[in-house]
């Protein structure tokens, strides 16, 4: 190979490596876990809000600030709203930078949160989304005190321990390019958020553990089962087809879509993590162009 070709080839490799990292804004996440992060923030930079983020008081006098404890003890800082000192009626927003618009309707907002309700006090967290860089906002998802709670109610000051966090995951509408966390309450207890991630489904892929062409379509039993909080699900595909792996609760309500893409023949494996779900019976279902099957799994916490 000529020297000029070697140089060009090397530059291409460097360019590809840079492009794979360009959206990794925080060291808490890696492209090994998430092939493409549209937005990633762990609130660990000395400045708060972090670069590109902003905070805004809507009512009251207290705003979002930086806390010294982070999610699951994996990080050393997070964002929090001091409801314990804020009077009732406090409303404040934490607004993300503008990011690449979501493209498939299956891109996800994932974040960690921790909260302990003060008896008799109701507080909330609302997620607003924008498709025009924040010119207008749309209320997209709401969480009340009960759905936010990660620790038993108490009147004492709340600082979350390592096991007092939970994940929230929400599919974002098409063309979302900015998000806003709006906290409302007061006279209660602090609310913490961390590890904010907008994960693209475009490059997520499905791990293929064997290229052997199976004789039949098959949905395998998950392992382990019972599980807490993660279990693996394997399935066999005999020909190129559209594949969906859907999780349902005991009432038949869809709660997650693990796979939704066209796959070639082979043997595949995906995983399901249920950090924010309660113990109980759940079902997972494979849906292809010519085959469907459903199996039961048990979450024990």
Q: Are residues 64 and 159 in the same domain?
A: yes
The encoded tokens of residue 266 equal 């082979």
The DSSP bridge partners found for residue 53 are none
- Determine the structural domain holding residue 135 and report its residue range: 25-199
| pLDDT confidence tier of residue 282, bands split at 50, 70 and 90 | very high
pLDDT attached to residue 104: 61
- Which tokens hold the place of 161? 């321990």
Same domain assignment for residues 67 and 135: yes
pLDDT at 77 over 80: yes
Structure-model confidence comparison of residues 101 and 6, the more confident one: 101
Residues 165 and 53 in one domain: yes
Which of 177, 199, 221 is a domain's end point? Answer: 199
127 or 274, greater pLDDT: 127
Integer CA distances (angstroms), 161 to 43, 68, 125, 166, in order: 17, 12, 20, 11
Mean pLDDT taken over the chain = 83
Question: 44 or 229: whose pLDDT is higher?
Answer: 44
- Number of domains, the chain: 2
Give Cα 113 to chain centroid, integer Å. Answer: 11
With respect to residue 5, please indicate whether it lies within any of the assigned structural domains.
no
| pLDDT category of residue 106 using cuts at 50, 70 and 90 | low
Write down which residue in 199, 230, 253 finishes a domain.
199
Residue 75 or 84, more confident: 84
- Are the C-beta atoms of 228 and 248 separated by less than 8 Å? no
Q: Are residues 180 and 234 in the same domain?
A: no
User: Do residues 264 and 240 touch, judged by C-beta distance below 8 A?
Assistant: yes
| Three-state helix/strand/coil letters over 147-189 | HHCCCCCCCCCCCCCCCCCEEEEEECCCCCCEEEEEEEECCCC
More confident residue, 277 or 47: 47
Judge whether residue 36 has pLDDT over 70: no
Whether residue 15 is predicted with pLDDT greater than 90 in this model: the reply is no
- DSSP count for the chain of H helices, then E strands: 2, 19
pLDDT in the model for residue 231: 86
More confident residue, 203 or 197: 197
Q: What's the rounded Cα separation, in Å, for the pair 30 and 25?
A: 10
* Residue 12 is assigned to a structural domain of this protein: no
Question: What are the tens digits of pLDDT across the range 205-223?
Answer: 566 777 788 999 999 999 9
Q: 3-class SS at 258?
A: strand
Q: Is residue 3 part of a domain?
A: no
Euclidean distance between CA atoms 249 and 252, whole angstroms: 5
Instruction: For residue 14, tell me if it sits in a domain.
Output: no
Q: What is the pLDDT of residue 11?
A: 37
pLDDT at 73: 78
Give tens-digit pLDDT for 139-158. 989 999 999 999 999 999 99
Select from 175, 199, 223 the last residue of a domain. 199
In this predicted structure, what is the pLDDT of residue 116? Answer: 94
Question: In the chain, what's the furthest Cα-to-Cα distance?
Answer: 75
State yes or no: pLDDT of 163 exceeds 50: yes
Q: Let me know if residue 42 belongs to a domain.
A: yes
In this structure, the answer to whether residues 220 and 276 fall within a common structural domain is yes
Q: Would you say residue 152 lies in a domain?
A: yes
CA angle 186/150/99 to nearest 5° reads 80
- Do 122 and 99 lie in a common domain? yes
């Amino acid at each position: 190979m000529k020297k000029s070709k070697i140089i060009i080839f090397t530059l291409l490799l460097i360019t590809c490596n840079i492009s794979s990292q360009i959206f990794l804004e925080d060291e808490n996440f890696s492209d090994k876990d998430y092939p493409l992060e549209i937005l990633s923030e762990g609130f660990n930079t000395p400045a708060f809000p972090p670069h590109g983020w902003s905070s805004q008081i809507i009512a009251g006098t207290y705003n979002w600030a930086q806390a010294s404890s982070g999610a699951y003890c994996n990080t050393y800082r997070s964002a929090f709203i001091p409801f314990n000192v804020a009077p009732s009626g406090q409303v404040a927003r934490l607004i993300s930078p503008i990011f690449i618009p979501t493209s498939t309707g299956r891109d996800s907002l994932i974040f960690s949160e921790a909260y302990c309700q003060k008896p008799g006090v109701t507080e909330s967290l609302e997620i607003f989304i924008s498709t025009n860089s924040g010119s207008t906002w749309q209320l997209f998802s709401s969480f009340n005190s009960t759905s936010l709670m990660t620790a038993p109610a108490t009147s004492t000051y709340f600082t979350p321990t390592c096991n007092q966090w939970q994940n929230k995951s929400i599919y974002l509408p098409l063309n979302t390019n900015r998000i806003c966390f709006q906290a409302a309450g007061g006279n209660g207890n602090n609310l913490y958020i961390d590890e904010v991630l907008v994960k693209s489904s475009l490059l997520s892929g499905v791990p293929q553990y064997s290229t052997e062409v199976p004789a039949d379509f098959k949905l395998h039993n998950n392992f382990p089962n019972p599980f807490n909080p993660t279990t693996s699900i394997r399935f066999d595909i005999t020909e190129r087809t559209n594949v969906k792996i859907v999780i349902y609760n005991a009432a038949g309500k869809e709660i997650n879509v693990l796979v939704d893409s066209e796959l070639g023949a082979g043997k595949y494996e995906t995983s399901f993590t249920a950090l924010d779900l309660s113990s109980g019976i759940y079902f997972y279902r494979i849906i292809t162009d010519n085959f469907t099957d459903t199996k039961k799994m048990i979450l024990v916490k």
